Amino acid sequence: MVTKLKPPYVRKYSKRENIQIWLVDGEYIRKNIDEEFTNFGQHYRFKYIPKDEFWIDQEVQDQEYSFFIDHLFVEYHLMKEGKNYDDAITEADKVELQHRRKAKDDRKILLASKGLPDLNVVHLSLWKKLENGVSVWIVDGRLVRSLFDRDFTEGGHYHVYEFVPKDEVWIDDAIEENERRFVLLHELHEFNQMGKGMPYSKAHAESSKLELRCREHQDELHDALAAEGWS
């Protein structure tokens, strides 16, 4: 018997240019439709999203909705015209950054004296320090996106993001607690595999597969995390 998927819609947020903007259950999408869905999306990036809709994960802070919507319109129109995703997201990121700067997020994270990133502002809470010396931090995802990388979502580490200290793994605070351990598993596995020399593309694909496996078989999550040094 094939299980019918439920619609992921939570509530309609707004409408612009005949586009319906929906808040959606990102956790449900990642478990049942597409593990690679992150903070937001549109049809030309994710074909399962209707052409006249934008989806925003309900988990992200509502203060970021306007940034994401501006980003999505640029990405949507460029890809509709035939631009590839890499070119479209580059232009969309530029527009998003302009709007983030108007919101003065960068002033919250820069040291007034030297203009250097103050990671104490980004760090919200230390989740755990592992026996291998790696610290797992819950971080302010909005500030990370505003200052460092517009495309930071869910989590990351220094093998992928040069702004993350060598001995740290970051988990976006937008990810709700009941989903954080799956994201943690992905990041730790990817971190460990890349530390052994595996290229990002392979490590990411392998980590996504492992994450999805544990989302579908939650009884395996504890042992999978232990295998990555989490106890």
- Share of residues in the chain with pLDDT > 70 (%): 92
Residue 2 has pLDDT above 70, yes or no: no
Average pLDDT, the chain: 91
Residue 113 has pLDDT above 50, yes or no: no
Tell me the C-alpha distance between 65 and 48, whole Å: 21
What is the pLDDT averaged over residues 54-59? 95
Q: What is the pLDDT of residue 114?
A: 58
What is the pLDDT averaged over residues 74-94? 96
CB atoms inside a 10 Å sphere around CB 228:
20
What residue segments make up the domains of the chain, in order of their start?
A: 9-103, 119-227
Pairing of strands 19-24, 40-42: unpaired
Q: What is the pLDDT of residue 210?
A: 96
SS3 content of the chain, % helix, strand, coil (to 5): 45, 20, 35
